[in-house]
Structures are given as structure tokens and as C-alpha cells.
Structure 1
Amino acid sequence: MSIVHLNTAGAGLMSTATLNAIQRFTSIEARIGSYETELAYEELLNVDLYRVAAGLLNAQPSDIGFFSSATEAWTSILSKLNFPRGKRVWVSASEYAANLIFFNYLKLSRDLRVEVIPTTATSPLDLDWVQRNLDEDVFLVSVSHLPSCCGVINPVEALGALLKDSSALYVVDACQSLGQLPLDVRDIHCDVLTGAGRKFLCGPRGSGIAYVSPRLLGQLELNFADLHAASTDGQVNRIEVSSARVLEIAEKSFSALVGLHTAMREYAEVGAAVNTEPYALLVQELRRLPQVQLLCEPFEQTGTVSFVPRNSSAKVFVSLARELGLNLWAGTAAHTPLLLKDLGATHFVRASVGRQVTLAQVEQALVTLRSL
């Protein structure tokens, strides 16, 4: 049975080249030793990896850091930021729950006022509200480019244009958009952008990327730096804070990074040429099915479409689909609580189309979806 994978928003399918790169590195490790293999890959791991990632984001290699996940990148960076007591933090309705949990802790410890940027009838961000309410009291603005629950596109470039001349720091969670949409940190005017290697980039699990602007790097309070960026005589620490690598841990999964390097290079070759027809067909045909209710219909979306089945639970629906060779995902409102709270959708089915998915595969998936 051929499997159609419509769960790229969870994890994309690695290409043969990416898998071979990981296996080759691991095989050499087993033969000559891990440290020795790391030395053999020194140019890739210490130079080209950062160059390729920087190229995807229109950043400098010194602004790039690598982590084990997008969440680790996001929390590692923001936890080193000194939030002034009583300031305001703005979040999007699309915010991932883990980000909200972080800010809720700060509400208790720093008396932060966490405010949600309103939506409009047609946009997930009310930019007029932003323009009216932006002042020196807003310390940080955090936006998930695409939410976990559906394919809604937040206008991060337009928001950045409003924020660029303010003192507010701007953080973009690009976990679901990296590898799917063009990302240019200069156009977005953000201070932090984080993304996952395993999703639309189709890299391995255990890999995450962060862009950190020089402005924000200079504001971080480092409570730890690993030996690759720091030294100590036992009494005094000396830390090199010239690049985002100071935020990394020296010990990491180098095989995952080697695989990520290949996945990023593959995406860089196709970039804006990714075929959007399979996704458009899927959405078009799902709209025709009376047994499902699509989520977030008024907003522009890409890559992911989510729906509530009317005659079964999301979990049962996804389980039946998997038995028939179709990978979907049963999501809950807990992952994106703000966006879904007014829709009354506690559970939903998420279908996400990676760049390898063909029109023929979507047609095959639609046969299964209609049967269910």
C-alpha cells in the first residue's frame, strides 16, 4: 500500500539524499570515532552549515545558531532576556501554547502585561490596532508566522514595518513557515526568528534554527555559555559574544545537523518554485464535502488545512485514514488556544502538504477522505 503523507506540519519526509547524509556520517562515527568524524566534517559543521542557513533567511552567518528544536531555540533565547517589570508584551492569536506558557510565568515574576493583538474579519493581525496602540511601554512583540492548528498566514512583514522604528523587540516563531514560505529577516525587521528542521524543511528531528539580531544579542544576560564560546580560570569567566553561537550548547547531534545541511540545500534549490497546486486542490475539494467544517476560512492560508469531521472524532478519523494509507494528524485546541477559543473546536484533523506531495497523491488522498 502506497502511503500519502499529509502530516508535514508534524514532520516532513526526509529525502534520500538527507537520509544518506545522516547514515554516512553515523557510519563514519562508528568506524573511526565521533570526535574524529566531527573533525573530518569541520568545514561543513562550522562554516557551510551557517552559510546555508543564513542564505535562506538573508542574514549573516554570525547571526545564526542551531538548537535541538524550534522550541528550545525560542525559549533559550528569550529566557536570557531581562524583561523590565510592568512592561507590555504583545502576542498573536496564533501563538503556540509553549510560548504562552513562557509569558504566563513572566506575568507572575515580572508583572508583565500580556496583550493579544486583535484579529479582524479578514486578517489574523489588526495592524491598525497596532499602529494606534504602539508606544514605549511595549517591550516585545511575539508572533507565530503560521499557527500549529492551521495554515493561517500572519502578515509578519507588514507588522515589522510598523515596529522597525520603535524600541519594541520583535520575535517571529517560524516553526511552520521555514521551508514553506520565503523568509527574509531584513524584510520582516525581526530581532529573533526560530524554526524547525523537521517540518517543511524535511530535515531530521532534533534540529532547530535561530536568527538573532545583533541588537537583541547585545541585550541578552548570559547565565551560561559553553566551552566553545567561553573560558574560565575558576574564578572569572571570559565569554565571546560576537555571534549567536554563544547561545548554543557545544555537544549536539552532529548527524542531525549534517542531515539538516542537506535538507536546507535542497530547499534552497527550489525555494519559491514550490508547487502550490496540490494544496489548492486539497482545499478546493474539502470545501465540497458537507461532512467536514474547515477552520479559519476567512484568513489567507497555505500548506495546512484543518477541519472538524461532523460524524466522528478527529482521533478516530485520523486512525481510520492511516489504516487506508493516508497520514493526517488529530490536533487539539490546546496547541493554539487563543485562535481556536472562539470557534468551539476542541479537536480537529490537520492535513499538511509538503513540497514532495504531488497532485496524484492529493487525488489519492481525496478518495480516502471522501470514503471516510
Structure 2
Amino acid sequence: MFDLAAVRADTPAASRRVFLDSAGSSLPPRPVLDEVIGHLGREAEIGGYGAAREREDDLEAGYGVFAELLGAEPDEIAFTDSATRSWLAAFDAVPLAEGDRVLVTEVEYAGNAIPILHRAGQVGARVEAIPSDGAGQVDVAALEEMLDERVKLVSLVHVPTNSGLVNPAREVADAAHEVGALVLLDACQSIGQLPVRADELGVDLISATGRKWLRGPRGTGVLVVRRDVRHRLVPRLVDLHSGEWVAPQEIKLREDARVYELWEASFADRLGLIAAAKYALDLGLDDITREVRARAEQLRQGLAALPGVDVRDIGEQKAGIVTFTVAGRRAVEMRELLAGHGVTVSTSHVGSTLLDMTRRGLDEVVRASAHYFVEPAQVDQAVEAVSRCGR
């Protein structure tokens, strides 16, 4: 049974404002704060090295916690300082050469598209967009027509930054694997609000952040690298954590996913990230998904009933991000007006999802993302605030 009162008690700020920006950076629950602040305090008492040694067992156990969360094995988990670092480490390890093809979806995120296009230009690879279907999600039939042995990677955004769409990851992975292509799943917006399991989705690599729906600290990320694809990857950003210097002209790299980690890290933040994953597992991902979708649907219906407001979400299956525009108001203007009414939202602009926003004729949207700690009454309060600000 989901206990809304308990999770709100763990999130005092949830009572002070209507917080609808978990797609940006969510409010961490008290156990996460306790871990981060407590470890920083211990570092101040005995130093960072000593404090880390005291928590060696907990830090090591974190690999098992995320293996449980993400449907993987502990040796398939690596910790990083962001989703960006995770994604770049994985992408950089995929061998690409002249004539190779990389496929992206039309909801590709700029943070991925820029490095893809940059590297493709360097090596002479081609970058092609898979068309969307009538609902706005990736068209799997079109993907199957595009696939051949030259496709080395399919970059798949699970939930885009600018709408509630959920892409069909399993279907994409199954199709891509028919020609031996790797599938890198950007789970930045899905981890923590939806079940994201490598064993069920069939993808080869998963990158994710801690600060959004998982409710962990900023500056944290995780990467999944499946065992059966390790031999196909060539990690390039390595250090003394990633491997050993065994002879004057010889090194030996790790054989597990931790080859993608670097030696220096914020262990206070990592402990907070592990606490966030435990918190989500204790609540249950199915219950979290149900609550988040209920808030999102309530918000969509409320906004759709307002004159001058257009809900801009696409996809057959929708998650917790709700995007909309208000006639006569810029997105940033609405964000600031709503802040004055005690409602926190963010905005998304054409440069972050160029293909999708251009295809749909949008320059910007207001983005509202209600997590499970938001009361239904607060959703109604947000709708009323939009009504007032849109006049």
C-alpha cells in the first residue's frame, strides 16, 4: 500500500510548494539527505579517505542495489558523476569507422546528438533519424527497414525531455540485435518513475542520472554494461581505477563495468544515490509508476480543459512528464508567473530536442512533472494557477 503521508513526511518541502520539476531535479527524501550530509560531516572529522574506508562495505553493496533496481548483475554496474558521463563513456567505447551508421530517434536529446554528430564527422560515419509513428514514438517497422550490417549503434531515448512519451525499448532492441547493432538506452527521464530493467528491455547499455525521478543527489549517475557486449567495446577514458600498470609498457584493464569509472568521486553523493535507489525499491517501482501516472493524467486532463492551453504530450504510452503551451504567453514567462503562485515547473526549448520540436512546429513548452509525493489537491492547485496566469 502506497503511503502518501509517509513520503511527504520524508519530503518537507513538498508541503511548502507545488513541486512539479522532478524531470529537472527532484526533491531528495530525508534518508538521502542524511547519507550525504552525514558522510560530509564524517569527512570533516577524519578526512575523506578514512570516511570512505569506514563505508567500504556500503559502497560495495551499492552495486548490488542498482543491479536489483536495473535488472542487471553487480559486475554490470558502474557509478559516474552524471547521466552525461555515463552516456559519453558508453558511446565513446562503441567502435565506429567510415561508412558505419548510427540511428537515433526523432526525440533524441541534444546532449546525445551533439557528441554523436561530432564523432561521426570525425570518423566518417552517418547519423540517421528513425521516423516516428502516428503516435509520436519510434516507428519500429520503419526501423526494421533501415537496419543493415552497417548499423553499429541505435541510440534510444526511453522518455524524452519534452513530452510524456515512453518509447518501446524492447521492440527496438530486438530489431537492432537482428543485425548485430548495439542499443544504448538513455534512461535519464525514466529511472525512478518507471521500471527500467536491462533483462526485460533487452538493451545492451543503460545510462541514467540520480537527480531526477530517482530523487538522488546532483552529480551522480549510473551506467549498465551487459556482460555479453563487453568484448565489443573499447573504453578509452581510463585511469588507475579502471586498470593496473603492471609493467613499464603494459597495463591491464578491469573486465567488469567499473572500467568506466574514474578513481575520484564524491562518496557522500554516491551513498546518497544508493540510499535513493533503496528508497525507490522499498516503495516499489510498480506503485511509483502507478502514482506518477495518476498525477500526470490528472494534470493533463485539468490543463486540457483550460481555454488557451494546449497539452503537447505524444506517445501511446505516457509517463510523468506533462508539457503544454499557453496562448499569448512564452514558456519562461509562464514558469516565472507560476513560481509566484507557489508552483515550480521548468521549460523545454527547441534546441534540446531539435528533430521532434521542429517536426511538431514547437519552439518551446512548459514542462510539469509531478512525482508521487505531490498530493492530488496540489495538482488541482497547479491547474488553477495556470488558469490564472494564462489570462
Q: TM-score, normalised by structure 1?
A: 0.96
- Residues 20-45 of structure 1, C-alpha deviation per residue, up to 9 Å, x if partnerless? 11111111111111100000000111
- Residues 104-152 of structure 1, C-alpha deviation per residue, up to 9 Å, x if partnerless? 1123112111111111112411111122332212111111001111111
- Give the Cα separation in 1 of the matches to 2:255 and 2:49: 25
CA displacement at 1:171 relative to structure 2: 0.7
RMSD over aligned CA atoms reads: 1.5
Query: Unmatched 5+ residue regions in structure 1?
Result: none
Q: Which residue of 2 aligns with 1:9?
A: 23
- Give the Cα separation in 2 of the matches to 1:311 and 1:2: 29
Further displaced range: 198-207 or 295-304: 295-304
CA displacement at 1:16 relative to structure 2: 1.1
- Give the Cα separation in 2 of the matches to 1:299 and 1:310: 26
Q: Which residue of 2 aligns with 1:108?
A: 121
Q: Secondary structure at the match of 2:251?
A: strand
| 1:310-329 matches, cutoff 5 A | 310-329=327-346
* Counterpart AA for 1:312: R
Q: Which residue of 1 aligns with 2:53?
A: 39
CA displacement at 1:219 relative to structure 2: 2.3
Q: Which residue of 2 aligns with 1:263?
A: 276
Q: Secondary structure at the match of 1:341?
A: helix
Matched, 1:55 2:68: yes
Residue 24 to residue 182, structure 1, CA distance change in 2 (3 Å): same
Q: Which residue of 2 aligns with 1:74?
A: 87
Matched, 1:148 2:161: yes
Matched, 1:161 2:178: no
Matched, 1:22 2:39: no
CA displacement at 1:295 relative to structure 2: 1.2
| 1:1-372 matches, cutoff 5 A | 2-45=16-59, 47-232=60-245, 235-270=248-283, 271-274=285-288, 275=291, 276-297=293-314, 299-372=316-389
* Counterpart AA for 1:241: R
Query: Unmatched 5+ residue regions in structure 2?
Result: 1-14
- Give the Cα separation in 1 of the matches to 2:351 and 2:200: 31
Residue 341 to residue 254, structure 1, CA distance change in 2 (3 Å): same
Residue 233 to residue 352, structure 1, CA distance change in 2 (3 Å): same
CA displacement at 1:174 relative to structure 2: 0.4
Name the % identity: 31
- Residues 141-191 of structure 1, C-alpha deviation per residue, up to 9 Å, x if partnerless? 111001111111111112122223431011100000000111111222111
- Residues 194-251 of structure 1, C-alpha deviation per residue, up to 9 Å, x if partnerless? 0110000000000001101223322222334222232225732322332110110111
* Counterpart AA for 2:199: R
Contact 1:230 1:237 in 2 (8 A): no
Q: Secondary structure at the match of 2:152?
A: strand
Would you identify which runs of 4 or more consecutive aligned residues in structure 1 move more than 6 Å? none
Q: Secondary structure at the match of 1:120?
A: coil
- Give the Cα separation in 1 of the matches to 2:362 and 2:242: 46
* Counterpart AA for 2:150: D
- Give the Cα separation in 2 of the matches to 1:133 and 1:223: 29
